[in-house]
Every structure is written in structure tokens, then in C-alpha cells.
Structure 1
Amino acid sequence: MIHISLWTKFTDLLQKKFKKLSRKSHFSLTQKQDQDFVFDVIKTKHLPSLKQLKYIGKFYNDTEVLLTRASFFIMLVSSIVLGVILYQNYVVEQPSIGGEYVEAVIGAPTYINPLFAQTNDIDQDISRLIFSSLMKLNENGQLVPDLAQSYEIDEAQTTYTFTLKQNIMWHDGEALDSNDVLFTVESIQDQDFKSPLYVTFRNVQIRASDERTIVFTLAEPFAPFLSVMTFGILPERHWSDIEPSHAILAELNLKPIGSGPYKFKSLTKDKKGNIKEYKLERFDKYYEEGPFVKKISLRFFSTFQEAQSAFIDGNVDGIGFLPQYQQNEVEGHIDEHKFSLPQYTALFFNQASNPVLADKNVRLALSLATSKYEIIDTAFGGDAIPVDAPILAGMIGHTESLNTTLFDPALAAKILDDAGWKRVYNESKEDEQSVPVTSGNSALGLNDQQAKTYTREKTINKEEKNELTTLELNLTTIQRDEMIQVAQTLKNLWQTIGVKVNLQIVEIGKIQKDAINPRAYEILLFGQILGRDPDPYPFWHSSQSNNPGLNLSLYSNKEVDELLEDARRTSNTEDREEKYIEFQQKLLEDIPAIFLYSLQYTYLTPKNIKGIATQRINHPSDRFSNTTSWFIKTKKRLNFNL
């Protein structure tokens, strides 16, 4: 390079100068020392130091000094340029362990146990972080092996063989093996455990052929079987001594031991015993790379307003879910992630709780008087998708050819008239059922006479007695602003056809225990998450009518049961699709529910958290499906393999 050649020229010149001087005269002692010093510089293999360079002027003329200075300047500039090039092209930023993420969540945990977690979203959130499963979902919502290194399915599609990865450790340092998987499934199959997964594994045989191999044998093909392999595995050594009937009371349900990327650290309760915060820390012996975020904490709030205030005040870093109408209020240093989620919100009729709902004409009238677009505009500002059936777009069995009910309040009123529900006008006194001006009666197809406020009555035979019954219904939903708005809109719509509606609002943390589990409601406004496979069996088969089943309408139809059972047995996609279409048509004819809308899942995180690559989730807890890739801290290093 140029600075090396100039240095060579410089040393040659010095040697010539000294030879010339030595021929002309004798040096003094000081001059001799200077000569020795300079020759030492010449002999060195390195560039001169700043101390050595001060002698250059004694041996260079002005031109040579200028040339030397220029060479050193060029050398300095070239070094800087080289450094910039190296930094820009070969220095990479990599995730580093460190940082903490605190998330606000609505509700509270109850059982952080994969055998019980299906009925509580927060339980599933924490279980996803603590436990591992045979299969898991990647950031694109696709099934991939987790604990399993590989799996095989026989030609009959009734035998599934899983081989575990090596060197998998529990959070207590013990090794995980096939006996833990065997114990977990056998616990699910034990009815005393009362796991919601019982029905799925009821007729499944399982054996551990060695420490790393588990074999599942099905009585008949079950198309969604791989999808249900995402349940977490329990450590046998900690649970085997606990009686199944007492399992729900075990301390391990709140202080679990798993094999996932994060392990339990601590929990904080208030004076009433309510859990207010749950802290996790990274498991440094996790079998895959990561996680990089050192700590994750979940803080629990009763309402979205409380969570939103905590976020704005900087007490939390992110929010697990925020309704669309509140998102503009938390703009700032956040990243907004919108995930596709197979979910719908519907009205579920519990016909056993109110004989009025057993009248199909009443259910049909309510369906005709329900404007999905008005609900979506009022509660979500238009940011939702109307839904007419239980199988959503993009899933096996979805079709646009179903005979669905259109919005027609005039026809709804006529159906009730013809069914004997007489109108009772209340013009003489202030009417609690008065229709607000904003409901837009003319747009609903109601004339002035129909728009007048009224209720309905009918004589119904109850226990061999004729009783005058008012058409009055109780609508139950959760204490969440947008759900209350939907319920209020439904109340306004239905009262235009003479139906009196009482709203019953239940706290999110209590809806499962107080309403859903005991089926203590007449009409339930609630959302259901379908999962990766569209299998409607858990939601509509008659065997799932009671807790822990998910048939919230207590719907029972033998033909539908057979269709759902047959669809589960076949691996032929076309056959499944045909059966699902037929199932949906029969369901819509019976009207056990009114399907309303589907929402995207909006997840808010701070901008300093990187690596969130998730696009599609099948459950809100899947937002944590790739936490091993999240990072806050980074480190830099040279990489010449780019």
C-alpha cells in the first residue's frame, strides 16, 4: 500500500543522509546517540511512534517532510475508511440476554396447568410460556415439532409415533422422558381429573416403547389429532403423588414446574388473595436457542381502562389485547401487531333456562332483528367482519352458499305476531323500552305505527297452568366496553319488535365460574376461538353440552352429532368439507345461536422489543409462540461469512 512504500522510501533516505554525514565530519557524543537512535528506528519492523517522528525534520528537506506528512494523512484516512467499511459490512448486531417485559392482561389466572387451562385465556397464556408440548405452532400458524424430534403416521392413520429430542430438562433440573408424556395423557384420560381434553383422548391408547419414544393408537382415524398435540406436558415425579380428585387444589397449579422457555419466579397477591402479578424468568437450560428476554411479568387488571391507564403511566410495557376503539388513545412508542385469529362472537341461546327461547319463532325473530353491520359500526367503527356460520373463511367447510338469515325487522315482527305474541302498547306512561332516536327506525324498515314502543305477551302453558308471559329475555356478557356496546345495540334493535331485554354484565374473571360453567344464562354474548383445525365437535356435539364442554347453546341434534363424528374419522378433505357444509346448514335451520362477527387480534408491545415475527395465531396465547426469538438487548461482533 502507499503508506508502506513511503515508509520504505523514508528509511532509505535516512540511511543515505547518515552515510553522507559520516564521510564529512565526526559526530559529537550527542550526535552519535541521535544516529544510533535513528538507525534503531530504521531497523524496526513497525511504524515509528510519535516520539520518534519528531526527529524527521533533521534529516528531511521541506519537500520530503511534506511528502511524509501526506503519506501519514493518507494512511490515517485509509484506516478510517477501512474501519467504516468493516463496520458497515461485517459488524452484525445479535440478540443478547437481558431486559424485562411487563404486560398488562385483563382477568386473573386460576389453574396454570395444561390439563385445565383450556377454559381460561390467561391460564393458557402463562402455560404457553412455562410448558412445552409435542407439537407447537410457528410464527405462521403452522404445526411444527416442539418436544418431538420427529413423528410418523401409519398408512391407516391410526398410529402416531413420536420421538423426543435429547437432553430436555425440567425447570428443577431433572430430565424429561416419555414417561412424563405417558403420565400426562393418562391423567387426561382419568375422569377424576376433569380435564376438558378428556373427550379427545378418551379412546386413545398410549405406550412408551423406550425413554424417547411414545406411541399413540387411535380406535379410528381422527383428522385433527396432530393439532391437539399442542397441550403441555406435566412432570410425573411432581404430580404422581397427587390424587386426581384433588389435583385442582394443588399448589403446582399456581407455582408450576415445566420445561418451556420460562420458569416460575414469584407471584404477588393483594389483601383479598387476588393475584396481581406473575413473574417469570428465562430457563437457561432450555433445549432450543433463547430465550433472550431475561424476565417476563404479567400484571392483572379488571378492566381495559385500568390496563390502558397503567400503560399510559408507564407502569407496564405492553397490553395483551386492546379493543380497536381504544387503540388511538395509546399511540406513541409502541408497535402494533395485528394477528389473524380464527374466532367469532355469537349469541348462544340456552333454551333450558327460559321456555320462551324454546320457541323457534322467537329465535328466528331475534335473528331477523339483528343488524350485524349496525353492531360492527357502533361497537368497532366498522373494523370487524360479519359472520354467518361457525366455520370461518379459509377453513375446511367454509362456503358462501348457506341459507343465512338477512336483516328484516318487519318480517321479525310479523313472525312474532303470527306466533301469538300480542303487542302491548304503553302510551299512557313513560316506557322503559322506548326506542332511541339514534336507532334509525326508518332505516330498519319500520313505519311510524311499528316504531311505537310496545312489549309482547302470550299465554303459555306452564306445568299444566296457563300463564300470561311477557316476552322478556336476559342477555349476559362480559364487562368489557365493546361487548357492553354490542349488548346495548342488540337491546335497542330487539325492542323495536317488542322484545324486552335485561342486560347482565359479569366481570371477565368471573364469567367462567359464575355463568359459563353452570350454564347460568338465557342468552350469552361471548366469543369462541376455534383453533387451527376447524373441527366443530367440541362446540356443537351434544356430548359437550355440560361443563367442561364448549357447547354453550346446549345444542342437541342426532344428525348433527353423526356428521361431526364422521368428519372426525375421515382424512379425506373433500369428505370432511361436505359433512361440515351439511352440518352448518342444519345448525342454521335450528337456530341455537346467532353468529355476529369476527375480529383481528391486536397486540401492543414496546418498540424496544424486537424479533416478534408472528403473523397468524390460533389462540391469543399463541402471541407467545416465538418468545425465544424476542430480544431487547443486543451485542455486536464481526462476521466475515456474510
Structure 2
Amino acid sequence: MILAACNKDGDAKPTDNNEPDSTEVDENKDGDEATDDGPKKGGTITGAMYSAPTGMFNPIFYEEAYEANILDFTHEGLVTQNDKLEFIPSLAEKWELNDDQTEVTFFLKEGVKWHDGEAFTADDVVYTYKAMSDPEYENAGGVRVNYVAPLLGYEAYQSGETDTFEGVVADGDYKVTFKFAEPNVSPLYYASFPIIPEHIFGSMAVKDIPEAAESKEPGKVIGTGPFKFTDMVEREQYILDRNDDYWQGAPLLDSIVWKVIAQSVMIGLLEKGEIDFVASPGGIAPADHDIVADFGNIKIIEQADFGYQLMGFKLNHRTTADVDSGTINPDNWVPNKKLSDPKVRQAIAHAVNRQGLVGSGHGEGLLHGRGQPINSPIAQQMWAYDESAATSYDYDVEKAKSILDELGYVDANGDGFREDPDGNEWVLNLDYPTGNELRERSAPIIQSDLEKAGIKVNLRQPAEMSVYVPGLTNDNTDWDLYLIGWSLSSTDPDPSGLWATRAGYNFSRWNSPTSEELMQKAVKAPEAFDQDFRKEVYAEWQKHFSEELPALLLYAQNSLWAYNDRIQGIKVLPQSMYQDSHEWWVNDAE
């Protein structure tokens, strides 16, 4: 899961009801075909993203999609996925599962080199997972615990009871075994995380890794991927150069340049050829689709997004002491009384016109109909998604008013806004980040919607992601409502990485024993080896989520990716267009 900032650890031709069901690529009239007989070597392409990465380029510590735009080209895992979301080999050439799926052994590709020329081995795999299991990892800001928590001996190692790491074990340079505490229903998912080099980080304390130059500076960030992160003008431009020693063969392109560009000017630069592609997060704005479709040199990929936008409710706040120590301890959380009653949150949900945000096409709504409101926080493409299991909060201002009236939230002083049941002023702070134009525009609309129900909203000044994310994470202040987007994992529907009580990304600080029980039940063998069983449990979890409502899911918009047809070799997956970038080439290379 990635912070979609506002879209690792995010796509379909609209039907009549605007629910995507297949991939659509707009074939433009001119310039679609390559102008020569085959791939050419050389050339540079330029991608655009509308917000700058916050600056963490280490897979085990990065948090948001803009950083992922770099890491997707520089780092790799043992396995990846194909267009059917099936696992296929990457740094591992094959694997074997034992009978009860408590162990999976990977046989690694030989001859793979890190960007600095050192050999990739099983020790790097062991180190990556050992670092994420380290007692210092979470306190240092690491949020990928869900990848390591099921490993054998994790709790004892993470707590410091033992210094022996049992979860991932090397047998020579090119054989490594993942061991799980219990039979695991998705072992390849847990083994899919990008690998970092032991020879770079192994001598560091885990708590020091986030501030190390090797996690932040171009030229020092080392991966195995097809491109090297070589240079940057911070907050403006990020340069990736060809890795000539790439294990699948040297990339055809010389380089990929990422530029940080305001969304309002992207399509003009796309038309002029000053940028070549716009993809994750966000892509081109829905309002610009028809304009871009008329460009003679641009292809559009439209498909259902592997994620969603939400308005979260801060149900609890951490203490300042826990924030300072990096601790996530629900026993210390301070309830946010303004939003503690689920019925209050349900009333707020009825007061937000989500369909109005989406629109129905013909220039209506922020999305112009290219998306849909959803009620379940599981990707629509996943087998576990069950819209019918969740409560649908249709736009109904009168119902919202009625619920609040019954709860004692009434306008006692005649100013048009409701006080709480004790007669105190009831004002909800709404925070949101800059970068995503649709989200920025939705914030005042949501404020207006809620005020129609008598809910006073303090719409605060938006902040850049580099400021917003720490504020969202270090929630020891007065945050009530927040806007965020998530690009979900395409590997498994397990929602615990976002919604488990102790998950770093559980920004709502939702603490539900029922939710915990259901999420654990859905992955516990042997019952969970039956996908139908898991689907039933996740349906129950989706129902519980929508009733408890730690967040109101606003919509899942269609991804609208666009690229200049000078680029050849792009493979479109449900969750990405960055697969096999070493095979990309431009037909005007010299």
C-alpha cells in the first residue's frame, strides 16, 4: 500500500453505469505506429508528477507514491506480477512450498548485480526482512510490519527477547527460505517486498537508516533495477540513468527524467512533447480526458484505479510522548470525543454528496463520471471485494440532520451550526494536502456539504505532502477530518496494512477488536486456504468497517494514464504501466 499523496508498501472502459470493466487504450489517428523496423537504443523520456517526493528512497522506509515513482525503476523483489495478477519470477527464478505452506524456498537468479557492482545474494534477502523485524524499525518510522509479522519468531525478535532471526534463512548464496509461524495462505505476497543491499546497510543501526545518505541521495541509492537514481534538483527534477549491467539486459533508453509539474499545465506540456508520460499517482485530470484524446501523438490508458480517495475520521490521538518515541500503543490513545460515536460519523457520511463529486459525465462533477463512489476499502479488482456487504451512505441531508438531532447535536444558539450534546461549540477541523487538484477542489465542496447539515467545518490551509504526512502521522494535535488517497497492494486483499490497530498507516487510529479478529481469521490456516472462506470473512469485515466507519470512502476514480506514442514497449498491467521498463524505447532515438 502506498500513500497516494495524495495519490510500494494503483485502472477500464466505462460501462453505461460508469463502472469500469476492462482496459481502454485510446488509439489516436496519427503516429501510433513505430516508424522503423524495431527497437532502437538511446534517447530520454520525461515523466511528470504533480508533487515532489518527500525524499525517502529506501523501500523499507518510503511512504508515498511520488517516492515509489523512483523506486519502481531502481529496486526489485523476488517476485512480481503479470497482467492476471499472478506471481511470476523476478530476482528469484523459481520457488518451492512445503506441504503445509509454513515454508517457501526461493532459488535466486545468479549473476544479478547491485548498481555498485556488488553481487546480489541470499544475504540481502535475509537482511531486508531482518531490518523490518528489528526492534528499532517502527520507532524509526517504518510502516511495513505487515510483511514480517507472520514470520517465525517475529515477536521474540522484534521485542528484543532474542537476537536470533528465524524468519528468513539463507542456505548458500542463492537459496533462501521464508519460514512462517503458522501455515500461510499468501506466502508469495509476504516474500514480494523490494530487497535492499546488506553490504550498504548491514553495518548501520536500523534507527539510523532513514537519515543515511544511502537512503536519500542520488548516486548513493543502490538497487538492482534497470535504472540508477543518479541526480536531482530537489523538488524539481529526478534523473534515472540506464543500468548497463542490468540482469535482464541493458535498458534501451539512456535515461528517464521525472519532473515536478503543476497539474494545471501538464496537458499543455504533454501536447508540446516537453513531457512524455503522466501516470501514477493521479494521471491526467478527468476534465482533460477529451482534450488529450484529441492530441494526435498521445495514447490514453483508462482503467479502474487500484485504490481510492477517502475522508478519514481521527478517532483517537496519540500522546506527545508516544509521538516523540515513535510508539503506536492503543492503550495510550486519547479518544477524540467530537467523533467517537459511530452514528455521528454515519450522519456525516450521509451529508457528503459523493456522487456529486464523481458526476455522471457531460462536464459534471470533479471526475466527469470517470469513477464511482465505493463503500468497501478493498480494491474493486480483488476477488474479496463485496460492495453488497457494505453499508451504502447515500446522499441524504435530511437523514443526516435527523440522526444528529436524535443524538442531541442541535443548534442551541441559533447561529446555524450545531452544538454538541453538552451545549459546547462543535467544530470539525478538516485538513488536506496540496498536489492532487481533484482532492484540493473536493475539500471546500465537502465543507459546504457538511454545513448544509449544520456541521461547522474549519477548513484549514492545505499543506505540501512533506509537511502533511508528518502531521497526519504525529497525530497528537487537533486533527478531526483528513483527506488522503491510497494505492492498494495488487498482491492480496488483506487490509491489515492500512486498518490493523497498530498499523502505521492506520491514521484514523481505529481500535476495533472485532476488526482485528476478522482480519486474523481471514488469513489463518487451514480454513483460509479456501478462498470462499476468506471471501465470506472479508465480507463480514467490510460490513463491520462500513458500520464503524473509521473513514468515509469518497470514490475510486479511473486511472487516466497518458504517454507520447514515441515511446514503444509499454506493457499495461491492472496496477501499473512501469513493468519491464528496460524494454522501453523511443522511435526517434538517434
Return the TM-score normalized by structure 1: 0.73
- The whole-number CA distance in structure 1 between the counterparts of 2:385 and 2:552 is 17
Deviations 1:30-72 (A, max 9, x none): xxxxxxxxxxxxxxxxxxxxxxxxxxxxxxxxxxxxxxxxxxx
Q: Given the superposition, is the C-alpha separation of residues 376 and 275 from structure 1 closer, same or farther in structure 2, using an over 3 Å criterion?
A: closer
User: Structure 2 CA distance, aligned partners of 1:125 and 1:140?
Assistant: 22
Is residue 478 from structure 1 mapped to residue 433 from structure 2 by the alignment? yes
What residue in structure 2 maps to residue 500 of structure 1? 456
Aligned equivalents of 2:263, 2:344: Cα separation in 1: 34
Distance change >3 Å, CA 337–CA 276, structure 1 → 2: same
Classify 1:458/1:176 alpha carbon distance in 2 versus 1 (closer, same or farther; 3 Å).
closer
Q: 5 Å matches for 1:10-409?
A: 93-109=37-53, 110-117=55-62, 119-194=63-138, 195-204=142-151, 205-253=167-215, 254-255=217-218, 256-268=221-233, 274-301=234-261, 303-308=262-267, 310-311=269-270, 314-320=273-279, 321-330=283-292, 332=295, 333-352=297-316, 354-377=336-359, 378-399=365-386, 400-409=388-397
- Please say if residues 104 and 319 of structure 1, whose CA atoms lie closer than 8 Å, have aligned partners that are also in contact: yes
CA contact (8 A) 1:135 1:144 kept: yes
Q: Displacement, 1:610? A: 0.9
Report the secondary structure of 2:300's partner residue: strand
Alignment of 1:510 with 2:467, yes or no, is yes
Paired position in structure 2 for 1:576: 534
Change beyond 3 A, Cα 1:401–1:360: closer
Structure 1 counterpart of 2:241, which letter?
Answer: E
**For 1:293-312, what per-residue CA distance to the aligned partner results, in whole angstroms no more than 9, with x for missing partners?**
121111124x3125455545
Deviations along 1:421-456, whole A, 9 cap, x unmatched?
2225768xxxxxxxxxxxxxxxxxxxxxxxxxx211
Alpha-carbon RMSD: 2.4
One-letter code aligned to 2:420: K
| Partner Cα separation in structure 1 for residue 584 and residue 476 of structure 2 | 40
Asked if the contact 2:379/2:488 (under 8 Å) is kept, the reply is no
CA shift at 1:535, angstroms?
0.5
CA 1:418–1:298: 2 relative to 1, 3 Å: same
Determine what percentage of the aligned residue pairs are the same residue: 24
Q: 1:458 aligns with which of 387, 396, 420?
A: 420
What is the deviation of 1:402? 3.6
Is the CA contact 1:365–1:413 (under 8 Å) kept in the aligned structure 2?
yes
Give 2:163's aligned residue.
Answer: none
Label 1:315 to 1:635 Cα distance change in 2 as closer, same or farther (>3 A): closer
Match for residue 556 of structure 1 among 511, 522, 534: 511
Distance in 2 (CA, whole Å) between partners of 1:415 and 1:202 is 40
* Inter-partner Cα distance in structure 2 for 1:388 and 1:242: 44
Change (3 A) 1:140 1:336: farther
> 1:397, 1:581 within 8 Å by CA — same for their partners in 2?
yes
2:6 match = none
CA distance in 1, matches of 2:353, 2:182: 43
Q: Deviations over 1:208-233 (max 9, x none)?
A: 11111000110013323312333221
Letter in 2 for 1:267: M
Indicate the structure with greater helix content. 1
Structure 2: unaligned runs, 5 residues or longer: 1-34, 152-166, 318-335, 360-364
Quote the offset at 1:92 in angstroms.
8.3
Conserved? CA contact 1:369–1:493, under 8 Å? yes
User: Which protein, 1 or 2, shows the higher relative CO under an 8 Å CA cutoff with sep ≥ 6?
Assistant: 2
TM-score by length of 2: 0.79
Q: From the superposition, tell whether residues 382 and 516 of structure 1 become closer, same or farther in structure 2 (CA, over 3 Å).
A: farther
Name the CA distance, whole Å, in 2 between partners of 1:201 and 1:336: 38
Corresponding residue SS for 1:348: strand
SS of the residue 1:483 aligns to:
helix
Aligned partners of 2:230 and 2:241 also within 8 Å: yes
Structure 1 distance, partners of 2:134, 2:200, is 17
Unpaired runs of at least 5, structure 1: 1-90, 269-273, 428-453, 461-467, 637-642
Partners of 2:589 and 2:488 in 1: CA distance? 41
Q: Given residue 494 of structure 2, which amino acid in structure 1 is its aligned partner?
A: D
Whether the aligned pair in 2 keeps the contact of 1:107 and 1:509 (CA below 8 Å) is no
Distance 1:158 1:280 in 2: 39
Change (3 A) 1:506 1:224: farther
Larger-gyration structure (1/2)? 1
State the alpha-carbon separation in 2 of the partners of residues 340 and 502 from structure 1.
Answer: 33
Q: Give the direction of change, closer, same or farther, for the CA distance of 1:317–1:234 in structure 2 (3 Å limit).
A: same
- Give the partner amino acid of 1:336: I
586-595 or 401-410, which deviates more: 401-410
State the SS of the aligned residue for 1:475: strand
Q: Note if 1:528 corresponds to 2:486.
A: yes
Separation of aligned partners in 2, 1:198 and 1:401 = 28
Following the alignment from structure 1 to structure 2, what is the Cα–Cα distance between the partners of residues 393 and 356? 32
Distance 1:565 1:478 in 2: 33
User: How many residues matched?
Assistant: 498
Cα distance in structure 2, aligned partners of 1:519 and 1:341: 32
Return the alpha-carbon distance in structure 2 between the equivalents of residues 527 and 370 of structure 1: 17
Superimposed CA distance per residue, residues 318-341 of structure 1 (whole angstroms, 9 cap, x where no aligned partner) = 223222123445552222122443
Residue by residue over 1:520-573, the C-alpha shift from the partner in whole angstroms, topping out at 9 and shown as x without a partner, is 5211122122212111111222122xxxx1112211111221110121222221
1:149 Cα deviation (Å)?
Answer: 0.6
Letter paired with 1:129: F
Q: Secondary structure at the match of 1:513?
A: helix
Given that 2:101 and 2:187 are in contact with CA atoms closer than 8 Å, whether structure 1 keeps it comes out as no
Shift in Å, 1:357: 1.0
> What secondary structure, in the 3-state scheme, does the structure 1 residue paired with 2:541 have?
helix
Letter in 1 for 2:464: E
Q: Give the Cα separation in 2 of the matches to 1:385 and 1:143.
A: 29
Q: 1:422 aligns with which of 410, 428, 431?
A: 410
Q: Supply the distance in 2 between the matched residues of 1:92 and 1:458 (Cα, whole angstroms).
A: 70
Of stretches 353-362 and 584-593 in structure 1, the one that deviates more from structure 2 is 353-362
> How far, CA to CA, are the matches of 1:370 and 1:139 in structure 2?
36
Q: Any conservation in 2 of the 1:267–1:277 contact (CA below 8 Å)? A: yes
Q: CA deviation at 1:403?
A: 3.8
Alpha carbons of 1:374 and 1:283: their partners in 2 closer, same or farther (altered >3 Å)? Answer: same
- In 1, the alpha carbon distance for the partners of 2:192 and 2:290 equals 35
